[in-house]
């Protein structure tokens, strides 16, 4: 049988008084293990196949929508049209949810790689695609992608896909003052803390949402291939700016997820993208993907979140 379509790749989960919705922008299917910076391909293959995963891996590209009745916050904004036909699904899925671009109040960028930021701006017209939003990003991301000397050292593909695309995406937001930079761990929005975790890119950052005693970390590209990088957190990716620094950040974030029992929302965790992290053996970690819940926890209609629930002060 051919010609079938999957159901829309959206998934709702409550975190305290917030509705968090995974929106899968698509996926990348790789044909080589060379995307990982580790020459021991036998080890990489074993880590993947031990979890019954495809080898070489298929990598999901997720974004996360956070709604609390007052704010509509988008964490990363998809890949636009730069990543090929298996990506770029965010605008259609937002329309499916009934969320208009002008409804988005804030965009939290984990970093400025194209699969995370290329949905900010129409590259043909320079028009901001979320006209009423503010965008938040680490200052080091702006500094790096607008650094002409760093661009000169890059490959031709890196110049086009990373530096040039990043500049096109950020310029309109910088020009009108709607790009809000930060450079340290702090609360960027009420209940949402930016947590720099640099290395994958110079300003790569996570975000921690806390609401009514619950906590979730959106960890960006802390992990690309969970089966491999939790089994051996030192395995880097060819997309890393500094793989050694990224590995140190990864270990720090993984341990924090264990210590605080954080729910993880991951851009490259297999859809629907939620998991818990548990300690493993000899410096490794275990990845426990959260089971699929068929209905929201408190009986809300999927996609409908008119006002936050009132919480008693007693």
Read off the tokens for 303: 């996609």
Per-residue H/E/C for 141-206:
HHHHHCCHHHHHHCCHHHHHHHHHHHHHHHHHHHHCCCEEEECCCEEEECCEEEEECCCCCCCCEE
Instruction: Name, in order, each residue with C-beta under 8 angstroms of 46's C-beta and a sequence gap of 6 or more.
Output: none
CA dihedral 87, 126, 171, 137 (to 10 degrees): -40
| pLDDT range class, residue 300, cuts 50, 70, 90 | very low
Q: What is the mean pLDDT of residues 288-299?
A: 69
- What per-residue string of b and e applies to 290-309 under the rule 16 or more CB within 10 Å gives b? eeeeeebeeeeeeeebeebe
What pLDDT was estimated at residue 180? 98
Residue with tokens 């990489």: 44
Query: Exposed, middle or buried: residue 249 (CB in 10 Å: 0-12, 13-18, 19+)?
Result: buried
Query: What pLDDT is attached to residue 145?
Result: 98
Which pLDDT does position 301 carry in this prediction?
44
Query: Three-class SS of residue 41?
Result: helix
Q: Which helix (H) or strand (E) holds 133?
A: none
Summarised one tens digit per residue, pLDDT across range 17-54 is 999 999 999 998 888 899 999 989 999 998 988 776 77
pTM for the full predicted model: 0.91
- Model confidence pLDDT, tens digit, residues 67-95: 999 999 999 999 988 878 889 999 999 99
pLDDT one-digit tens code per residue, 111-122:
999 999 999 999
Query: Which domains occur in the chain, in start order?
Result: 10-289 (3.60.15.10)
Residue 251 makes CB contacts below 8 A (sequence gap 6+) with 233
d(CA 197, CA 266): 14
CA distance from start to end of the chain: 58
Say which residue the tokens 């699929």 belong to.
292
What order of strands is seen across the sheet that includes strand 134-138? 10-15, 18-29, 58-67, 72-75, 106-108, 134-138, 179-182
- Of 158, 146, 267, 156, the C-alpha closest to 205 is 267
């Amino acid at each position: 049988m051919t010609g079938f379509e999957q159901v829309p790749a959206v998934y709702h989960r409550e975190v305290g008084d917030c509705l968090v919705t995974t929106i899968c922008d698509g996926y990348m299917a790789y044909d080589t293990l060379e995307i990982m910076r580790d020459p021991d391909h036998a080890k990489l293959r074993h880590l993947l196949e031990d979890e019954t995963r495809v080898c070489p891996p298929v990598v999901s590209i997720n974004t996360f929508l956070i709604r609390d009745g007052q704010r509509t916050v988008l964490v990363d904004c998809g890949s636009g049209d730069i990543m090929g036909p298996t990506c770029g699904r965010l605008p259609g899925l937002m329309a499916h949810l009934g969320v208009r671009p002008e409804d988005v109040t804030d965009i939290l960028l984990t970093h400025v790689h194209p699969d995370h930021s290329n949905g900010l701006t129409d590259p043909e017209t320079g028009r901001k695609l979320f006209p009423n939003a503010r965008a938040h990003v680490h200052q080091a991301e702006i500094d790096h992608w607008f650094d002409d000397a760093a661009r000169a050292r890059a490959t031709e593909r890196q110049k086009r896909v990373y530096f040039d695309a990043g500049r096109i995406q950020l310029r309109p937001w910088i020009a009108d003052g709607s790009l809000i930079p930060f450079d340290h761990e702090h609360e960027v929005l009420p209940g949402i803390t930016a947590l720099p975790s640099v290395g994958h890119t110079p300003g790569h950052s996570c975000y921690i949402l806390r609401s009514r005693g619950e906590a979730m970390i959106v960890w960006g590209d802390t992990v690309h291939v969970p089966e491999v990088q939790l089994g051996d957190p030192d395995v880097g990716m060819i997309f890393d700016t500094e793989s050694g620094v990224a590995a140190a950040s990864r270990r720090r974030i993984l341990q924090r997820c264990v210590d605080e029992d954080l729910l993880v929302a991951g851009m490259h965790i297999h859809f629907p993208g939620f998991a818990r992290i548990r300690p493993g053996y000899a410096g490794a970690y275990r990845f426990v993907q959260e089971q699929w819940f068929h209905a929201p926890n408190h009986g809300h209609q999927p996609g409908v979140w008119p006002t936050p629930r009132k919480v008693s002060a007693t």
